[in-house]
């Protein structure tokens, strides 16, 4: 689990939240036994909600990652 | 002045937006309370990340709702599924779940919910009265006295740690150490900052809160895997919910005393809820006409703990607002939120911001009522939420936590700090140390130094030679002497 957290943080640092979150969600769920479709839908939906709540509604820019800055 | 504040408080409540936010908080709190493993504290910690961007009158109703409702959602799963939503509901299972197995689930639920709402509302109004009593004392406090109030809080935190007191002391010590990181308040000299400007303001409270409380819970969940609630007992007999409600009125004396127990535990800073639960359960058993039936499904075994755990939040809110010292870990979250929103917890909350404090207390009561109104009809369906598989829950909560931490300051270093504190949090849980003591000491530590510096500047090195301060010092000595003194007296009188 520690590895997942460190990896997640690393992805956030490199690629930003809007890529790291769906990737983390997708792979974590898949690894624990979800099916591709369910994991994919959850990942996309979750990221969309985060985007809407934070970037659209609250106006905060989510970290874009060093590779994109 | 007090009447003015009351009038203003009631005026505050006419704004619809407050109620909307309160409702959102209630729903959020119930859902988090329902899902086993996360509870009020985690819900509040996560919300802190968003609270920063909201107006006080938007964020505070949510936080108050979370405090109020943290004990209610979990009662549903405790009774119907035998699984605690959070550790505040553990004792409810002892008799609540057997009742469900006997087919009396509705009754147990009715009793739990009614006890919860009455336990939350009654003390809240009592607190409103207490505010008036406490006010003159609080207004007489000066910064010099606050030093000792904080020491009292720290003493309670340490003394009341469940488990080893040494571990409690160490946890508190670590919290205090962490509080020193940053630029010293009065002199500006950097301490433990390693030349890194990120640390000049000290460690961010949200990082500590999430790292100690939100992430470790998810780590545990991830390691356990699977669904938390297995396909449990089918829920039958919801129509006797009313009977359960009537049971509470019938046992009103039990409810009253359990609420009192919970309330007192809430008021005492630094004390956890588990003590209140076991004592109220023990009291219910001892005062019952059929103590031997406890554990097989007796309604009094549900009423006691459920009144206590809701009453505790009212007491904790009073202490947190009035003294600026958290009455519980949820109180610590509330304190962190108040600081983030720009309020200085402590005497000013009862003077300058008295109307706000009164509004919050009323909202606490209201949140309890709204929560129960939602739960009564929807309870069985809500229990289904507890069956959410951990492989879904973990990434969602972890994702929310990481985003929340980042947006609170917009600093990517916070994410790294979160990793470090998560490691600390996991270690604390794993080795049986006290995360509550740590965060309470962390918050109190920074306040302590501020007040100490002010005290020394205003009063010189002998600033504590004032009646109130000396009285407070006496209390501290009593707290520490209580344990050993009891033992010495016992030996004297038994030999």
Looking at residue B231, its pLDDT comes to 45
Q: Which residue has the higher pLDDT, B210 or A10?
A: A10
- pLDDT tens-digit map of B289-305: 787 777 777 888 888 88
pLDDT tens by residue, B74-130:
788 778 777 776 667 778 878 887 887 777 777 888 888 888 888 888 888 888 777
Residue from B217, B226, B402 whose CB has the most chain A CBs within 10 Å, to mutate: B402
A 10 A CB-CB count for B7 gives 12
**In chain B, what residues touch A53 (CB-CB under 8 Å)?**
50
* Angle (nearest 5°) at CA B299 between B297 and B300: 115
Chain A residues whose CB is inside 8 A of the B396 CB are: 25, 42, 46
The span from the CA of B218 to the CA of B197, in Å, is 31
- Helix then strand count (H, E) for chain A reads 3, 0
Cβ-based burial of B84 (10 A; exposed 0-12, middle 13-18, buried ≥19): buried
A2 contact B CB<8A: yes
Mean pLDDT of A56-65: 77
Distance CA B238, CA B106 (A): 4
The number of C-beta contacts closer than 8 angstroms across A and B is 76
Judged by CB atoms closer than 8 Å, whether chains meet at A32 and B390 is answered as yes
Query: CA of B492 to nearest chain A CA: how many angstroms apart?
Result: 53
Are B368 and B310 in contact by the 8 Å Cβ rule? The answer is yes
Please report residues of B whose CB lies closer than 8 A to that of A56. Answer: none
Tell me the average pLDDT across B438-446: 82
In which element (H, E) is residue B93 found? Answer: helix B90-101
Mean pLDDT of B355-381: 85
Residues 437-466 of B with CB under 8 A from A: none
**Among candidate residues B49, B385, B421, B436, the one with its CA nearest the CA of residue B219:** B421
- State the Cα–Cα distance between residues A46 and A53, nearest whole angstrom: 11
Residue among B404, B361, B400, B345 at smallest CA distance from B65: B361
Mean pLDDT of chain B: 80
Asked if residues B284 and B304 have their Cβ atoms less than 8 Å apart, the reply is yes
H-helix or E-strand spanning residue B183: strand B182-183
Length of chain B equals 495
Look at B422 and A5 and tell me if their CB atoms are within 8 Å: yes
**Cα of B368 to nearest chain A Cα, Å:** 27
DSSP letter (8 states) at residue B490 = H
Q: Is residue B133 left, alpha or beta, with left meaning phi > 0 and alpha meaning psi from -120 to 50? A: alpha
- Lookup: tokens for B132: 């008036």
Q: Which of B123-132, B352-361, B411-420 has the lowest mean pLDDT?
A: B123-132
**For residue B424, pLDDT beyond 90:** yes
What is the mean predicted confidence (pLDDT) over B355-384? 83
B215 touches chain A (CB under 8 A): yes
CA–CA separation, B199 vs B409, rounded Å? 13
Identify the closest residue of chain B to A19 by CA–CA distance.
Answer: B399
The residue count for chain A: 69
pLDDT for the residue B433: 86
Q: Which of A17, A32, A59 sits opposite B403 (nearest CB)?
A: A17
How many other C-beta atoms lie within 10 A of the C-beta of residue B1? 8
Q: What does the pLDDT average to over B408-416?
A: 85
Q: What would the mean pLDDT of B25-37 be, rounded to a whole number?
A: 82
> In whole angstroms, what is the distance from residue B295 CA to residue B289 CA?
14
Per-residue pLDDT at B56 exceeds 80: yes
pLDDT over 80 at B65, yes or no: yes
Q: Residue B31 pLDDT > 80, yes or no? A: yes
Q: What confidence score (pLDDT) does residue A5 get?
A: 92
Torsion of the alpha carbons at B320, B324, B328 and B333, rounded to the nearest 10: 90
B61 to chain A, closest Cα gap in Å:
18
Of A23 and B234, the structure prediction assigns the larger pLDDT to: A23
Q: Give me the residues of B, 363-422, that contact A with CB < 8 A.
A: 390-392, 394-396, 398-400, 402-403, 406-407, 410, 412, 415-416, 418-419, 422
Q: CB–CB of B403 and A33 under 8 A?
A: no
Q: What is the pLDDT of residue A52?
A: 87
Digit-coded pLDDT (tens) for B445-460: 877 888 888 888 877 7
State whether residue B236 sits within 8 Å of chain A by CB.
Answer: no
Report ipTM for this prediction. Answer: 0.94
Q: What angle do CA B15, B16, B17 make, to 5 degrees?
A: 95
Distance of alpha carbon A11 from alpha carbon B415, whole angstroms: 11
Is the Cβ of B53 closer than 8 Å to some Cβ of chain A? yes
Q: How does DSSP classify residue B194?
A: T
Give just the sign of the alpha carbon dihedral A12, A17, A22, A25.
Answer: positive
| Model confidence band, residue B20 (pLDDT cutoffs 50, 70, 90) | very high
Determine, for residues A29 and B418 on separate chains, whether the beta-carbon distance falls below 8 Å: no
Residues of chain A positioned with their CB less than 8 A from the CB of B402: 8-9, 12, 17, 21
The shortest CB-CB distance from B412 to any of A4, A58, A63 is to: A63
Touching check for A15 and chain B: CB below 8 Å?
no
Q: To probe the interface with A, which of B207, B400, B407, B413 has the most A CB atoms within 10 Å? A: B407
Question: Over 80: is that where the pLDDT of B239 sits?
Answer: no
CB atoms within 10 A of CB A53: 15
Answer whether A9 sits within 8 Å of B394, measured CB to CB: no
A12 or B383, higher pLDDT: A12
Q: How far apart are CA B267 and CA A60, in angstroms?
A: 38
In the predicted structure, residue B342 carries a pLDDT above the cut 90: no
Helices (H), B225-353: 241-250, 252-267, 273-286, 300-323, 329-340, 347-350
Residue B270 has pLDDT above 70, yes or no: no
Question: Which residues are within 8 A (CB) of A65 and not within 5 positions of it... i.e. 6 or more apart?
Answer: A12, A13, A14, A15, A16, A19, A20
pTM listed for this prediction: 0.78
Q: Are B138 and B472 in contact (CB under 8 A)?
A: no
What are the residues whose beta carbons fall under 8 Å from the beta carbon of B22, sequence distance 6 or more? Answer: B61, B62, B64, B65, B363, B366, B367, B370
State pLDDT tens for residues B184-220.
Answer: 777 778 888 887 888 888 888 888 888 888 888 788 8
User: Taking a C-beta distance cutoff of 8 angstroms, is the pair B226, B390 a contact?
Assistant: yes
The answer to whether the CB atoms of A33 and B423 lie below 8 A apart is no
CB contact under 8 A, B396 and A46: yes
pLDDT at A6: 93
Residue B99's closest CA among B295, B280, B239? B295
Q: CA-to-CA distance for B296 and B309, rounded, in angstroms?
A: 21
Whether the CB of A28 is below 8 Å from some CB of chain B: the reply is yes
Q: What is the pLDDT of residue B272?
A: 66
- For B467, other C-beta atoms within 10 Å of its C-beta total 9
Name which of B24-28, B41-45, B491-495 the model is least confident about.
B491-495
- Per CB-CB distance under 8 Å, the chain B contacts of A50 are 399-400, 403
């Amino acid at each position: 689990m520690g590895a997942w957290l460190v990896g997640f943080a690393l992805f956030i640092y490199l690629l930003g939240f809007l890529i790291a979150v769906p990737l983390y969600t997708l792979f974590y769920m898949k690894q624990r036994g979800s099916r591709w479709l369910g994991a994919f839908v959850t990942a996309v939906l979750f990221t969309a909600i985060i985007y809407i709540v934070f970037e659209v509604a609250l106006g905060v820019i989510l970290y874009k990652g060093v590779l994109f800055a | 002045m007090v009447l003015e504040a009351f009038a203003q408080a009631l005026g505050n409540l006419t704004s619809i937006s407050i109620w909307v936010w309160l409702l959102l908080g209630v729903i959020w709190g119930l859902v988090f309370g329902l899902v086993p493993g996360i509870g009020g504290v985690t819900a509040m910690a996560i919300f802190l990340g968003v609270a920063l961007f909201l107006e006080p009158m938007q964020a505070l109703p949510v936080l108050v709702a979370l405090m109020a409702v943290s004990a209610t959602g979990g009662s549903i799963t405790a009774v119907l599924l035998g699984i605690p939503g959070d550790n505040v509901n553990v004792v409810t299972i002892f008799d609540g779940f057997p009742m469900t197995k006997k087919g009396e689930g509705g009754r147990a639920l009715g009793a739990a919910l009614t006890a919860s709402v009455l336990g939350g509302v009654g003390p809240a109004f009592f607190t409103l009265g207490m505010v008036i009593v406490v006010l003159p004392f609080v207004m007489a406090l000066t910064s010099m006295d606050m030093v000792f109030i904080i020491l009292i809080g720290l003493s309670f935190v340490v003394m009341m740690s469940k488990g080893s007191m040494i571990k409690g002391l160490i946890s508190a010590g670590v919290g205090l150490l962490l509080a020193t990181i940053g630029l010293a308040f009065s002199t500006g000299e950097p301490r433990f900052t390693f030349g890194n400007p990120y640390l000049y303001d000290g460690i961010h409270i949200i990082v500590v809160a999430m790292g100690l409380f939100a992430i470790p819970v998810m780590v545990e969940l991830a390691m356990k895997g699977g669904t938390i609630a297995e396909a449990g007992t089918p829920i039958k007999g919801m129509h006797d919910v009313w009977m359960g409600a009537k049971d509470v009125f019938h046992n009103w004396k039990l409810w009253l005393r359990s609420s009192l127990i919970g309330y007192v535990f809430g008021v005492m800073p630094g004390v956890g809820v588990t003590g209140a639960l076991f004592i109220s359960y023990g009291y219910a058993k001892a005062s019952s006409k059929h103590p031997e039936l406890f554990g097989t499904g007796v309604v009094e075994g549900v009423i006691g703990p459920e009144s206590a755990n809701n009453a505790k939040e009212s007491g904790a809110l009073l202490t947190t607002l009035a003294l600026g010292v958290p009455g519980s870990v949820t109180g610590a979250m509330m304190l962190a939120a108040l600081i983030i929103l720009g309020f200085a917890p402590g005497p000013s909350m009862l003077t300058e911001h008295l109307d706000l404090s009164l509004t919050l207390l009323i909202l606490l009561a209201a949140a309890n009522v709204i929560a129960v109104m939602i739960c009564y009809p929807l309870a069985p369906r809500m229990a289904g939420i507890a069956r959410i598989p951990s492989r879904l829950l973990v990434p969602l909560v972890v994702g929310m936590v990481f985003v929340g931490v980042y947006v609170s300051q917009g600093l990517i270093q916070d994410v790294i700090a979160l990793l470090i504190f998560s490691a600390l949090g996991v270690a604390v849980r794993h080795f049986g140390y006290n995360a509550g003591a740590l965060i309470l000491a962390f918050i109190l530590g920074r306040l302590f130094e501020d007040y100490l510096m002010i005290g020394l500047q205003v009063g010189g090195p002998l600033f504590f030679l004032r009646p109130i301060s000396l009285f407070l010092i006496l209390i501290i000595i009593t707290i520490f002497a209580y344990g050993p003194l009891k033992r010495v007296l016992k030996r004297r009188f038994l030999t």
